Amino acid sequence: MMILNKINSPADLKKLNNQELHKLSEEIREFLVNSVSKTGGHLASNLGIVELTIALHSVLDLPNDKIIWDVGHQSYVHKLLTGRRDRFDTLRKFGGISGFPKPTESEYDSFVTGHSSTSVSVALGMALAEKICPNGQPRNLRNAGSANPPDGLHKKYISVIGDGALTGGMAFEALNHAGSQQDIPLIIVLNDNGMSISKNVGGVAKSLNKIRVNPRYRHIKADVKSVIDKIPLIGKPLKLFIQNIKMVVKKLVVGNSLFKDFGLVYLGPTDGHNVKKLIRVFRKAKSLNKPVLVHVLTTKGKGYKFAEENPNKFHGIGMFDSKTGEIIDNSNGEPGFSETLGKTLCNIANQNKKVVAITAAMPDGTGLCDFAEKFPDRFFDVGIAEQHAVTLAAGMAANGKIPVFAVYSTFLQRAYDQILHDVALSNLHVVFAIDRAGCVGKDGETHQGIYDLSYLLHIPNMTVLAPSCNTELAEMLDFAINNMNSPVAIRYPRECSGEPCSTFIRENADILIISIGTMLSTAVDAAEILQSHGISATVINARFAKPLDLELITKHANGKKIIATIEDNVEIGGFGNYVESQLGLNIVKFAFPDKFIEQGDIAEIFEKYGLTAEQIAEKLVELY
């Protein structure tokens, strides 16, 4: 029987010896490749973290101790080991298990994550909360620093953070704070694979890479070990002496590490695919009862040839053939919006030398790879640092460039103040190319792009556009770069349905429907259904969410029994609300409600929230 099939909780894992743990890692890898090839998901990161997760589960007392998985996309192994193996065929599906940690799914998931660089703050916050007694008196932590503080905290708090997530500013804010809390038993596990989604960028990544590839460290380590091994009966003092040399050498090589400067104990670097070594270093970290950083070196995609060779492709992947690594293509053949953005931007940048492109660690996802290759001096990958990206763009715009920041809607949320204070207040010409807007489907609650209209429409000076098809996106990008001189946001989802873009005017119609972005095809379909009920509807493709084409809208709103809006944003603060405030008329709004929207196929989600053409038409017939 497979060992994996006997593991239902960490207690089962603790019964295994080293050999069995090794076999378990192999079984987990095989399981993950097979399972994710059928559901899609974040494969490469999980293949890289198998031994690390096994070791943490072996050493810690879960669920009493708390692991916070940064981003959370690498929590599949953790899910497999905590009783969710049998539900893996439902991964990321409607009603199925989430691709991210979710406390409502399991007591072993201690916090929701999905967006990067939050784990150190969360773990530290949890630990500090435990430190404070219910009556507000601090717990006596005088004995912290000893192995078993009688009066110390009862739980361990662990942040598992990748070197990519470490590029986010919030992680550094938290490290800075953590170092000042010397009585807190915080363990930060740095899962360093040299990769974000693409190759990791920046100064810290460079310095980590030095440690990773430094042959001096590797050789010296091996030499010292072989010297120790060759001495048949060494006395304790000699052994200690040699070990001390090892430490000194390591300090010389690792140097005055950044983490030590933050006030953290630095352990490592440790081979992240050696369970025995990992268990040893985690035990040590646990015994210290103070803020510790354990530096673990792993290989993204480990053990699956295709993912090791191309971790970027297998970071987040759809269904694929596990034998060949080939993606099973079930797209509609239309280029996605990201591809159109990338191509159009290259064309525009050829003519307009002021154009620069910025990404926050998502060159692939946002379609900027060609641009990066063609215009290396005008391309900036800032790491997972959306806030910095926006203000960097503001600086560039203030000095004569036209920056285009291509970013997912959900990740731009964290740069709200930078958009408002650093870009809009000075009316700077920054273009936001907002990808994955609307419902994102399988990533679920943490990644829905259904808030951007609400966080952009009320910002003065901001123009907000939404294309209904690829042609419109290309035109809008050209307009935003070459015809505007103030902040512009263009928001669009991943998929382009390929429907022709049109404003669909019926003279003397009964109802006016105004749609924004790709909801146009739904609006046109709803109008057709209404027609079959004897109700005629005019459909306006708004294109501009702000400023509205009030002349056109008012002209067609005149005398209509019902004016409706359709959008893939939340209702509150969204397009319909904005139209209502500008027109001063009551609007029937079709939008997402005031709740977090779960994972599932986009069509399933639209149906659940009444956003299909049939449901919209039915509702309008009812109201008519």
Ligand X SMILES: Cc1ncc(C[n+]2csc(CCOP(=O)(O)OP(=O)(O)O)c2C)c(N)n1
Q: 193 or 338, CB closer to ligand X?
A: 193
What is the nearest approach in angstroms of ligand X to the Cβ of residue 311? 8
Based on CB atoms, which residue is closest to ligand X, 45 or 538? 45
165 binding ligand X? (CB under 6 A): yes
Least Å from the CB of residue 91 to ligand X: 16
Among 411, 590, 592, 606, binds ligand X (CB under 6 A): 411
CB of 526 to ligand X, least distance (A): 34
Q: Which residues from 17-46 bind ligand X, rule CB under 6 A?
A: 45
Active site residue 300: yes
Catalytic pick from 286, 378, 386, 442? 386
Here the tokens at position 442 are: 């399988």
Q: Shortest gap between Cβ of 401 and ligand X (angstroms)?
A: 23
For 216, list phi and psi in degrees, rounded to 5.
-60, -50
Q: Which is nearer to ligand X, 411 or 451 (CB)?
A: 411
- Return all residues near 362 (Cβ < 8 A) that are at least 6 apart: 197, 368, 406, 407, 408, 411
Q: Which residues pair with 403 in a beta bridge?
A: 356
DSSP state of 317: B
> Between β-strands 402-408 and 511-515, what pairing exists: parallel, antiparallel or unpaired?
unpaired
Strands 463-465 and 544-546: antiparallel
Q: How many helices (H) and strands (E) does the chain have?
A: 25, 16
Closest distance of CB 318 from ligand X, Å: 16
Contact 208, 195 (CB under 8 A): no
Q: Which is nearer to ligand X, 296 or 477 (CB)?
A: 296
Site for ligand X in 181-200 (CB under 6 A): 191, 193, 195-197
Residue 133: count other Cβ atoms within 10 Å of its Cβ: 10
Residue 162 binds ligand X (CB under 6 A): yes
Q: Which is nearer to ligand X, 159 or 196 (CB)?
A: 196
Within 247-306, which residues bind ligand X (CB under 6 A)? 300
Q: Where are the strands (E) in 233-374, listed by range?
A: 265-271, 292-297, 355-359
* Residue 411 C-beta: closest distance to ligand X, Å: 4
Cα–Cα distance for residue pair 239/231, rounded to 1 Å? 9
Residue 68 or residue 526: which is nearer to ligand X going by CB?
68
* C-alpha–C-alpha distance, residues 298 and 292, integer Å: 19
User: What are φ and ψ of residue 524, in 5° steps?
Assistant: -65, -40
**Residue 575 corresponds to which tokens in the numbers above?**
């397009």
Residue 362 CB, nearest approach to ligand X (Å): 6
Instruction: Kindly state the tokens that stand for 436.
Output: 């994955």
Catalytic hit among 102, 156, 414, 494: 414
Interface mask (CB under 6 A) for ligand X, residues 62-91, using x and -?
---------x-xx-----------------
Burial class (CB in 10 A: 0-12, 13-18, 19+), 123: buried
> d(Cα 21, Cα 196) in Å, to the nearest integer?
28
CB-wise, 190 or 466, nearer to ligand X?
Answer: 190
CB of 437 to ligand X, least distance (A): 15
* Known active-site residue 85: no
Nearer to ligand X, 164 or 449 (CB): 164
Binding mask 359-388 for ligand X (x = CB under 6 A): -xxx---------------------x-x--
Distance of closest approach, residue 181 Cβ to ligand X, in angstroms: 23
Please check whether residue 449 is in contact with residue 438, taking contact to mean a CB–CB distance below 8 angstroms: yes
Q: Which stretch binds ligand X (CB under 6 A): 161-169, 173-181, 228-236, 456-464?
A: 161-169
Which tokens belong to 20? 């069995």
What track of x and - describes contact with ligand X for positions 567 through 606 (by CB under 6 A)?
----------------------------------------
Q: Residue 48 in contact with residue 272, Cβ under 8 Å?
A: yes
Candidates 58, 110, 116, 121; binder of ligand X (CB under 6 A) is 116
Counting contacts by CB under 6 A, is residue 517 touching ligand X? Answer: no
Residue 382 in 3-state DSSP? coil
Q: By C-beta, is 360 or 431 nearer to ligand X? A: 360
> What backbone torsions phi and psi does residue 247 show, to the nearest 5 degrees?
-65, -45
Closer to ligand X at the Cβ: 181 or 418?
A: 418
Is residue 115 near ligand X by the rule CB under 6 A? yes
C-alpha distances in angstroms, 309 versus 365, 425, 501, 544?
A: 19, 46, 41, 43
Assigned token pair, 51? 């031994």
**# chain residues binding ligand X, by CB under 6 A:** 23
Q: CB–CB of 547/431 below 8 Å? A: no
Query: Are 160 and 295 contacting, i.e. CB atoms less than 8 angstroms apart?
Result: no
Hey, is 381 helix, strand or coil? strand
Q: Which residues 6+ apart lie within 8 Å of 219 measured at CB? A: none
Helix locations, 263-323, DSSP H: 275-288, 305-309
Within residues 296-355, the interface with ligand X by CB under 6 A covers 300
Q: What is the CA radius of gyration of the chain?
A: 27
Residue choice 149, 164, 272, 574 for contact with ligand X (CB under 6 A)? 164
Integer Cα distance of 180 and 67 in angstroms: 21
Task: Give the binding range for ligand X (CB under 6 A) out of 87-95, 211-219, 358-366, 533-541.
Answer: 358-366
Going from the C-alpha of 25 to that of each of 162, 194, 290, 584, the distances in angstroms are 20, 22, 30, 63
Task: Please tell me which residue in 29, 250, 300, 378 is annotated as part of the active site.
Answer: 300
405 binds ligand X (CB under 6 A): no
Q: Is 404 in the site for ligand X (CB under 6 A)?
A: no
Assess whether 230 carries a catalytic annotation. Answer: no
Q: Is the CB of 71 or the CB of 523 nearer to ligand X?
A: 71
The least CB distance from residue 70 to ligand X, in Å, is 6
Q: Annotated active-site positions, please?
A: 300, 386, 414
Q: Which residues bind ligand X (CB under 6 A)?
A: 45, 48, 71, 73-74, 115-116, 162-165, 191, 193, 195-197, 300, 360-362, 384, 386, 411
